[in-house]
Amino acid sequence: MGFFGINAKNEEQKAAMQALINKKPFTFLTGPAGSGKTLVAQAVGLERTIDRPKYRKMIYTRLQTQVGMDIGALPGDLNEKTYPFIAPFMDNLEVMSEKANEIKRFLTEGDEDRRKVFFDSIQTIRGRSLNFTYVMFDEIQNVDIHTISALATRPGMDAKFVFLGNFSQIDNPRLRSTQNNGLYKLLNGLYEKGAHQYFDHINLRETQRHPVVEVVEDILRNNEMPKEFAELEARGNIAGPLEW
């Protein structure tokens, strides 16, 4: 079984899909680059918002940080400035079902009656109450405690918040500490409180991109990633085959 043309390629992706369609408000998907975190979450979100509606709208957001040297202020209006940061979402449409191109009408700002998918900045989500909404927080390993606190307190009625993170790709050196990293603090805190009725955590370990990506991730994880992050990710490992 799949969603929006995407089928689970392993038990971890299957578990992620199951978690994404349940009633718990929080789903955490962690793991290395190329393991399918964003793709799976996006496919489920589109299906549950457009094809088989459970949610009134879907929001995709990520912290608008740049990797490497700062390229300065981007030209254009708000949509043009935001586009480089939503490129992963748009790239994923290319590998989804043939209907994927059709959903662009749901992204068109001028068609408010049909618009169901929104690209909001993290800053605009703070202070809101989101009801009947499927929200994807991509690259969430790059936010601090204050930011994730503001985000995680937004769920309203029938909301699904999906936190997608890879602890080996933290851009801000300050956030490589367990004391400062928002994703670590929230997920670890939920485990410590035993609040399993409110969240699921699936750690996707199999890279689906070129095999060299797995080699690079192994180098970074062994040399750069604090062991506490690895131990927290491992709590979301799947023990064995699952029934669908």
Two tokens at 235? 């709590």
Q: What whole-number distance in Å separates Cα of residue 58 and Cα of residue 64?
A: 19
Q: How many other C-beta atoms are found inside a 10 Å radius of the C-beta of residue 24? A: 15
Angle between helical axes of 78-93 and 37-46 (0-180°, round to 10): 100
Higher-pLDDT residue of 193, 64: 193
Least confident of 24-28, 42-46, 105-109: 105-109
Q: What is the DSSP letter of 49?
A: I
AA letter at 72: G
pLDDT of residue 87: 80
pLDDT of residue 241: 61
Domains of the chain: 2-6+23-234 (3.40.50.300)
Q: What is the number of residues in the chain? A: 244
Tell me what the mean pLDDT of segment 25-46 comes to.
95
Confidence band of 143 (pLDDT split at 50, 70, 90): very high
Tell me what the mean pLDDT of segment 28-52 comes to.
94
pLDDT of residue 78: 47
Contacts of 181 (CB under 8 A, 6+ apart): 141, 144, 145, 167, 170, 175, 229
Least confident of 41-50, 83-92, 96-105, 198-207: 96-105
Confidence band of 198 (pLDDT split at 50, 70, 90): very high
Tell me what the mean pLDDT of segment 78-102 comes to.
71
Contacts of 43 (CB under 8 A, 6+ apart): 2, 3, 4, 5, 6, 92, 96
Question: What is the residue-wise DSSP string for 136-200?
Answer: EEETGGG-BHHHHHHHHT-B-TT-EEEEEE-TT---SGGGGSTTTBHHHHHHHHHHHHT-TTTEE
